[in-house]
């Protein structure tokens, strides 16, 4: 029996060849550079896949076409393109020694938030608590690292990591949910029971840290950027459940003197409301 030519299966239209694309093909489709693609995948939680048949070779990295379609309709993609265009303008102004123009362009650089991505990746609060181990480890790690322009570790990221690590310690102490502690070469392993979930995290030993040169810190900072936003959502709910105001105040003097957890000032929501009402009564009395 002779098959009609129109009935023959065309190569690459079905099976693994049609369902998966290599990383190079994905970059062409999304019109992104490799660092931008990695950053977007980290923020969206997209990972490479391992198809049964690898049509382009076993040494290639593959992504599912549905995941790439998911990235293609992400609003952050357009924001990243605007930021890239703005950075070109800033570099051009600096090359022409137009420093005032470069500074103005930096101030008007497009901004974005990751709140939508947190709600998208964690539909329920328990899902976020179940996945909180890695964020806590990364935040505690960066709180012990020095900021570096050469490795592109921003000062704000280190300070925010330090603040979040202290907020987590304050919650664990106030809620009394710590179950186990183990001291190892890497640091202190802690385990707590939070909302019925077992949470384990690592706190490095407090010593001067040397940044190894063979680590891609840009990837780690991208993870940190998402984890910090996620932890703020989780901490707000946890603090609210134990009737504490979030974010807690941080005593700048105690923190500068390396007081650690003693620098965190936790107060109940009721106390904060009483203070606001008292302040309002004083203001009314002054007006009278």
DSSP string, 55-80: TT-TTS-EEEHHHHHHHHT-HHHHHH
β-bridge mates for residue 249, sequence order = 265
Answer yes or no: is 282 within a domain: no
Tally of structural domains, the chain? 3
Bigger pLDDT: 168 or 286? 168
For 279, phi then psi, to 5°, come to -65, -35
What secondary structure letter does DSSP report for 145?
A: S
Same-domain pairing of 69 and 102:
no
For 185, phi then psi, to 5°, come to -65, -40
pLDDT of residue 281: 46
Q: Which whole number is the average pLDDT over 22-27?
A: 91
Residue owning tokens 């109940």: 268
Report CA-CA distances (Å) from 242 to 125, 201, 212, 266: 16, 21, 40, 11
Q: Which whole number is the average pLDDT over 153-166?
A: 93
Tokens representing 58 are: 């076993």
Same-domain pairing of 132 and 223:
yes
What's the pTM? 0.81
Cis peptide before 247 (omega within 30 of 0): yes
Same-domain pairing of 93 and 235:
no
Same-domain pairing of 99 and 121:
no
Which helix (H) or strand (E) segment holds residue 134: the answer is: helix 133-143
Q: Which of 114-123, 156-165, 265-274 has the lowest mean pLDDT?
A: 265-274
Same-domain pairing of 53 and 171:
no
Confidence of residue 15 (pLDDT cuts 50, 70, 90): low
Same-domain pairing of 176 and 267:
yes
- The stretches of 216-268 forming alpha helices (DSSP H) are 217-241, 252-256
Helix (H, G, I), strand (E, B) or coil at 215: coil
Domain that holds residue 69: 17-73
Answer yes or no: is 285 within a domain: no
Name, in order, each residue with C-beta under 8 angstroms of 166's C-beta and a sequence gap of 6 or more. Answer: 250, 260, 261, 263, 264
Q: Which whole number is the average pLDDT over 251-280?
A: 58
Same-domain pairing of 150 and 223:
yes
């Amino acid at each position: 029996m002779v098959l009609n030519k129109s009935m023959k299966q065309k190569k690459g239209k079905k099976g693994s060849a049609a369902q998966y694309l290599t990383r190079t093909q994905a970059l062409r489709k999304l019109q992104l550079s490799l660092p931008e693609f990695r950053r977007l995948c980290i923020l969206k939680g997209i990972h490479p896949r391992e198809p049964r048949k690898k049509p382009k070779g076993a040494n290639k990295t593959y992504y599912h076409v549905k995941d790439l379609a998911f990235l293609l309709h992400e609003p952050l993609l357009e924001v990243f393109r605007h930021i890239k265009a703005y950075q070109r303008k800033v570099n051009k102004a600096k090359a022409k020694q137009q420093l005032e123009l470069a500074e103005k362009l930096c101030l008007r650089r497009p901004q974005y938030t990751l709140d939508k991505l947190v709600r998208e990746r964690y539909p329920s609060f328990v899902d976020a608590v179940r996945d909180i181990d890695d964020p806590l480890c990364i935040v505690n790690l960066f709180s012990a690292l020095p900021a570096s322009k050469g490795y592109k570790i921003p000062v704000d990221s280190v300070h925010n990591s330090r603040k979040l690590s202290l907020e987590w310690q304050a919650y664990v102490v106030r809620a009394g949910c710590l179950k186990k502690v183990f001291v190892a070469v890497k640091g202190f392993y802690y385990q707590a029971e939070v909302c019925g979930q077992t949470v384990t995290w690592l706190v490095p030993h407090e010593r001067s840290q040397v940044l190894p040169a063979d680590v891609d810190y840009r990837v780690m900072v991208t993870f940190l950027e998402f984890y910090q936003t996620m932890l703020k959502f989780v901490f707000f709910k946890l603090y609210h459940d134990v009737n504490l105001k979030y974010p807690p105040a941080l005593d700048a003097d105690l923190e500068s003197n390396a007081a650690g957890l003693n620098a965190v000032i936790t107060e109940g929501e009721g106390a904060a409301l009483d203070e606001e009402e008292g302040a309002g009564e004083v203001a009314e009395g002054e007006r009278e």
